[in-house]
Structure 1
């Protein structure tokens, strides 16, 4: 009885594998050429449904539904692993961030290989020996979710990867002599970079989103905020941090600022002295005019006094003569008059 049960179990398992292989071969047979990344939602979903319908329930969950976040720089390479099980069928499904799909499948029993992914996505060696997916080089369109599903006699197992493509920004630091500013630029980075300054000071930042999904950040720094002879721009990014140093010309910016203050103070002092001299000049001029007026009035007064004296002099002489006459009259003998 036990031998008979074991025989039935083996026959059911092999029957399931043969049915699965035949169904996948029929579903994927056709004109799926590997031209770029051909996205056929219907075929991809059909293959996934086939795997789920033709396998028996899982008896272990040790490797089932594993999720892994991955991040890599653009133009590099990456290898994604499948669950380490002997398999009858393996399917890689890729759902890209731009909304497209592709798949790669291999049926062990019939050595049947189907795919419609781009040429930069392939098996590491061959699917019968290594089920890993190798992507080289990485492009921006490769960003998305990758799922490897294997079917064995006791269920299905999967590894799922969320792949993020990093684009390091192109960093530059320039000095604007006319505007007294420094410009730190992190161009075409993904994800968005962050910019900071040393020493800290007043700065403004602008960002621009490009058509390929990358971003450019530009930070403008007021050099008068700098203390010292150097200025450093720091760019922080997941692909790697960078720092650029700018040597400030003609000494430190603080010395320049101090020189400007001295010049302004000197100018204010010069203007103050000039105003004082103008005040003194106008004061002396006004004093001279007043003195001239007084001098011009003096002779007129004297002449008037002289005229008055001249006018009064005949009258005074007459009075004196009259007085003399009266005095002499008094000297005559009594009874005699001057007329006699």
Structure 2
């Protein structure tokens, strides 16, 4: 039992010793964040040590495959695997293991780790390379005379603002290479579009441009199309109101004729008397005729009524 316990203790002691040895031999010099702009050059240092046995740069970009640069002092030989010509030693690796990237591109973004093997131990240092792409600023007037600001192919996306406050919400269009184009239209409530300034803010540098836009011919035509019918409608409406008002006044001014007593003309009396006169005359004629007949009947023979 005691022998078994002693073996366990010995095993633990060996493990602790190995871990301490590895920790002492392999040292992490540190991590470094590097930011560089597209088109410039970047220099990544490695811990210079005396009595270097071997140096290895391991490059792991965010996009694409990894590459390796190596140097062996015992053979005085360098080799490279899958690395482009823009990535190389700055000087001779046996003098200085510094790495240089010429004409940095977005594809170079990633992690660059330098591993050094020397007589006094192993060392490694990692650089996190971030590539900035400044956007291309374009400011123009659209077909309606509205200022449009475009920050094309920026990395990271640019921030657009206007000197005159605008309510526009920028639109972003992402590209396959990691860049983003930002578009913003000036939509302030004010109709004054003279000397409108667009400001583009970006880590690679700020930019600004000014422009004066005027309403286009199409906008003026559209304005006429809406204004002229509206104006004609108003005139027609006012003419109709005036017409009805004028005629209503005339109707109101007309008065009813005064009521007068009917006139009595002699002709009407004559017309009323004539039937009665005719009737009396007829009665008289009949009466006379009857009287004459009666008289004839009562006279002696041989006598005739006097005429």
TM-score relative to the length of structure 1 = 0.61
Residues 1:81 and 2:45 aligned together: yes
User: In the alignment, which of 87, 93, 96 is matched to residue 61 of structure 2?
Assistant: 96
Residues 1:71 and 2:35 aligned together: yes
CA-CA distance at 1:138 after TM superposition:
1.3
SS at match of 1:305: coil
SS at match of 1:64: strand
- The separation in 2 between residues aligned to 1:175 and 1:243, in whole angstroms, is 16
User: In the alignment, which of 269, 278, 286 is matched to residue 314 of structure 1?
Assistant: 269
User: Relative to 1, partners in 2 of residues 1:311 and 1:224: Cα closer, same or farther, differing over 3 Å?
Assistant: farther
User: Relative to 1, partners in 2 of residues 1:226 and 1:64: Cα closer, same or farther, differing over 3 Å?
Assistant: farther
Residue of structure 2 in register with 1:330 after alignment: none
SS at match of 1:75: coil
CA-CA distance at 1:242 after TM superposition:
0.4
List alignment gaps of at least 5 residues for structure 1. Answer: 1-52, 251-259, 319-340
Residue of structure 2 in register with 1:150 after alignment: 116
Is the CA contact (8 Å cut-off) linking 1:94 and 1:146 kept in structure 2? yes
Residue of structure 1 in register with 2:244 after alignment: 282
Residues 1:114 and 2:106 aligned together: no
Residues 1:216 and 2:181 aligned together: yes
SS at match of 2:169: strand
List alignment gaps of at least 5 residues for structure 2. Answer: 1-17, 216-222, 274-307
TM-score relative to the length of structure 2 = 0.67
CA-CA distance at 1:59 after TM superposition:
4.0
Is the CA contact (8 Å cut-off) linking 1:200 and 1:226 kept in structure 2? no
SS at match of 2:181: strand
User: Relative to 1, partners in 2 of residues 1:291 and 1:225: Cα closer, same or farther, differing over 3 Å?
Assistant: closer
Residues 1:305 and 2:262 aligned together: yes
Deviations 1:179-220 (A, max 9, x none): 242100001111111111111122132111112221111001
Residue-pair matches, total: 238
By percentage of residues, which structure has more helix? 1
User: Relative to 1, partners in 2 of residues 1:92 and 1:226: Cα closer, same or farther, differing over 3 Å?
Assistant: farther
Is the CA contact (8 Å cut-off) linking 1:68 and 1:161 kept in structure 2? yes
CA-CA distance at 1:312 after TM superposition:
10
- The separation in 1 between residues aligned to 2:135 and 2:207, in whole angstroms, is 10
Q: Any runs of at least 4 consecutive aligned residues in structure 1 with deviations exceeding 6 A, and if so which?
A: none
Deviations 1:275-308 (A, max 9, x none): 566434322212324556x5xx649x66x834xx
SS at match of 1:225: coil
Question: Of the two, which has the highest radius of gyration?
Answer: 2
Is the CA contact (8 Å cut-off) linking 1:58 and 1:156 kept in structure 2? no
Residue of structure 2 in register with 1:29 after alignment: none
- The separation in 1 between residues aligned to 2:199 and 2:169, in whole angstroms, is 15
